[in-house]
Amino acid sequence: MKTSRIVINWFVDFDKEEKWINEMSGKGWEFWHTNGVIYRFKRCEPANFVYQIDFDEQKPRNGIGDYVVFRTQCGDEFVHQWKRKIYWKREAASGPFEAENNVAAKLRLTNKAFNHHLNSFIGLTLIAAFAFIVLVPMGRHLPESVFSTWLTEFGTGLTYGILLAELLILLPILRKLQQKMKELIGQIF
């Protein structure tokens, strides 16, 4: 019998990702690692664990941050952290996580996800601006050479690539999360 499994998957919506990981647990696969695309599982008793995805608001300086330590002390089991996304699990017998039936907790998680993706958007925009404002003009003002041509083409390609990725990936994610936050706020008020 197979004791481990690797699955390639990519999610825009963390709720769908969380649901999928819980479905895998229901089929007897315990989640233990991801890099955002490749998910690793090991064999377990079906539906032995329930999982939750959360976002750390503070970028930890030395590995695991204070938030992870706090949640661990509260009884949740830390599974894995990829960038600011944190995966938690607990025994299914302990019941679901707070956010599952709590609109305010879902709103908090959605807000954290929105801020995470917004920070990525801002960072990529700054890199694109640097490439367009610094690299491209520098390549054009250097004496004609292979390096100056490469620098100009690299700066232009980097700028267009980042802007295209933002338009096709990040902006739709931000819009979807913003819409989800509006729906959750509507449920509260």
Amino acid of residue 173 = I
Query: Are residues 50 and 131 both part of a single domain?
Result: no
Question: Same domain for 90 and 40?
Answer: yes
CA distances to 64, 77, 144, 164 from 152, rounded to whole Å, are 40, 49, 11, 18
Instruction: Tally the domains of the chain.
Output: 2
Same domain membership, residue 111 and residue 129:
yes
pLDDT value, residue 61: 58
pLDDT value for 14: 84
- Asked if residue 93 and residue 8 are part of one domain, the reply reads yes
Residue 89 predicted with pLDDT over 90: yes
Among candidate residues 40, 71, 55, 161, the one with its CA nearest the CA of residue 110: 55
Instruction: Give the C-alpha distances (Å, rounded to integers) separating 146 from 132, 153, 157.
Output: 19, 11, 16
Residues 126-147 have a mean pLDDT of: 94
Using a cut of 0.85, tell me whether the model's pTM lies above it.
no
For residue 131, the enclosing domain spans: 103-188
Beta strands 85-91; 49-55: pairing state: antiparallel
Please give the mean pLDDT across all residues of the chain. 88
Residue 177 has pLDDT above 80, yes or no: yes
Q: Which of 98, 132, 154 is the last residue of a domain?
A: 98
Are residue 183 and residue 145 in the same domain, yes or no? yes
Judgement on whether residues 66 and 116 belong to the same structural domain of the protein:
no
66 and 51 in a single domain? The answer is yes
Task: Note the pLDDT of residue 100.
Answer: 57
Instruction: Give yes or no for a contact between 12 and 173, defined as CB atoms under 8 angstroms apart.
Output: yes
The reply to whether 110 and 171 lie within a common domain is yes
Model pLDDT, residue 99: 57
Residue 1 pLDDT more than 80? no
Encode pLDDT of 21-70 as tens digits: 999 999 999 999 999 899 999 999 898 899 998 877 666 555 566 778 88
The fraction of the chain above a pLDDT of 70, given in percent, is 93
Beta bridge partners of 91: 49
Q: Residue 103 — pLDDT band, cuts 50, 70, 90?
A: confident
If DSSP codes are grouped into helix, strand and coil, which group holds residue 41?
A: strand
